Structure 1
Amino acid sequence: MIILENLTKSFATPNGRKYVAKNINLTIPQGKAMALLGRNGAGKSTMLQMISGNMNPDSGQILTRGAVSFPVGFAGSFHRDLTGAQNARFVARIYGVDTDAMLDFVADFAALGGHLHMPVRSYSSGMRSRLAFGISMALDFDTYLVDEVTSVGDSAFRRKSAAVFKARMKKSSAIVVTHSLIEVRNLCNAGAVLENGEVTYFDDVEEAIAKHVSNMKRSK
């Protein structure tokens, strides 16, 4: 379970402060794969960064129960001069899991071939996302934070990603950011819509999609 209490986050812009969160109070139930929907620039990725603990809010707090993943698809914490394999082993040691088992899973899942043993600085953004998703899915978390990574790669890789994700959801929760409503329907059973610093939660993912689509049409 994740609880946002009086959460506020904003950034200074030439046109004044841009609010990602404006005194948000929200409880995200355990056992849900929740889509976080919103227009470009609404602050969805920033919300994941705050929930993961990688970014502090201006005020308020985030309470978490159980282990929460780093944002899957966010590879900013990788050491660019180390290989993908070395980064995977390093993360395994941090989380206290078998390094060989981690590397075997990542090698099979991410399908990077020889690139797995090349420096991460040589990777494309898609390759880094595949590495990040593989490393995260190799670890057991109570809540997974997923940012666009299920749209990376060809159709076969996306199917493999969805299958692994659904397997994890049998005993875990997730917050998923994606612009693909097809992916939302395929992966999620609840949703929340972020608009102008406010969040509306829907236990029915179709209601969340309808609200998001309505917001997008109103902005045109």
Structure 2
Amino acid sequence: MIVCEDLHKSYRIGHGRKQVLNGIDLTIRPGDKVGLLGRNGAGKTTLIKLIGGVEMPTSGRVRRTMSCSWPLGLTGGFQGSLTGYDNARFIARIYDHDYADVRAFVEDFTELGRQLRMPVKTYSSGMRARLLFALSLAIEFECYLIDEVIMVGDKNFQQKCHYELFEKRADRSLLLASHSPEFIRTFCDRAMILSNGKAEMYDDVEAGLDTYFEL
């Protein structure tokens, strides 16, 4: 499981602090599909970063007993001076996977060809997203964190992303932040609304969406 206990997160702004999350409790069980709803600035990305370990909470804690991906959609984690292949080697080393297997998956999935030999800082945003998806999916996680950016590239690549994440890994847990009600309806069995630093969970996705639209 992934358990968030009384999470608070604030950021220093000038001489004060901006409170983004104010006491968030959340439990994600094996196989759960949780849709994360909230207006821009509500803290969806912040919560996903905390769960993924990209940032630390101001107070509270996250307990993880299942493996958790870094946030898909967050492209800032790349080493820009390294090539696509170098980033794949780095990920393979961190997660103790065979580099040859990771490299083969990245080559096939990204369809970036010779660009994988170039520094990531030279990539377009779409190329970065392809590499991020590939590196995330080359390692098998029990829970995937998805921050807004779901599909990139042409229709064929979008279908490939859909198959790998939502069909092949249909038994995995998901925390999916999206403004699209159709994505939430299709892929989630619970909905959580973030508003004013607080969170409310709905076991009925439609009830959660109805409340969200009334905000």
Q: Could you state the TM-score of these two structures normalised by the residue count of structure 1?
A: 0.89
Matched length: 215
Q: Which residue of 2 aligns with 1:84?
A: 84
Structure 2 CA distance for aligned equivalents of residues 84 and 149 of structure 1: 20
One-letter code of the match for 1:52?
Answer: G
Give ranges in structure 1 of 5+ residues lacking alignment.
216-220
Instruction: Tell me if the contact between 1:33 and 1:169 (Cα under 8 Å) persists in the aligned partners.
Output: no
Give ranges in structure 2 of 5+ residues lacking alignment.
none
Residues 10-89 of structure 1: pairs in structure 2 closer than 5 A: 10-13=10-13, 17-89=17-89
Q: 1:79 to 1:18 in 2, by over 3 A?
A: same
Structure 1 CA distance for aligned equivalents of residues 48 and 95 of structure 2: 20
Instruction: Tell me if the contact between 2:28 and 2:173 (Cα under 8 Å) persists in the aligned partners.
Output: no
Coordinate RMSD, CA, aligned: 1.9
Q: Which residue of 2 aligns with 1:145?
A: 145
Structure 2 CA distance for aligned equivalents of residues 15 and 196 of structure 1: 21
Q: Which residue of 2 aligns with 1:104?
A: 104
Aligned residue for 1:56, secondary structure, equals coil
Residue 32 of structure 1: CA displacement?
Answer: 1.1
One-letter code of the match for 1:141?
Answer: F
Q: Could you state the TM-score of these two structures normalised by the residue count of structure 2?
A: 0.91
Q: Which residue of 2 aligns with 1:125?
A: 125
Q: Which residue of 2 aligns with 1:218?
A: none
Q: Which residue of 2 aligns with 1:212?
A: 212
Instruction: Tell me if the contact between 1:8 and 1:60 (Cα under 8 Å) persists in the aligned partners.
Output: yes
Q: Moved runs in structure 1, 4+ residues, more than 6 A?
A: none
Provide Cα deviations, 1:124-158, integer angstroms capped at 9, x if missing partner: 12211211111111111111111123132233322
Residue 17 of structure 1: CA displacement?
Answer: 4.1
One-letter code of the match for 1:82?
Answer: L
Residue 122 of structure 1: CA displacement?
Answer: 0.5
Residue 13 of structure 1: CA displacement?
Answer: 4.2
Structure 2 CA distance for aligned equivalents of residues 57 and 187 of structure 1: 28
Identity %: 42
Q: 1:119 to 1:203 in 2, by over 3 A?
A: same
Out of 161-170 and 14-23, give the one that drifted further.
14-23
Aligned residue for 1:107, secondary structure, equals helix
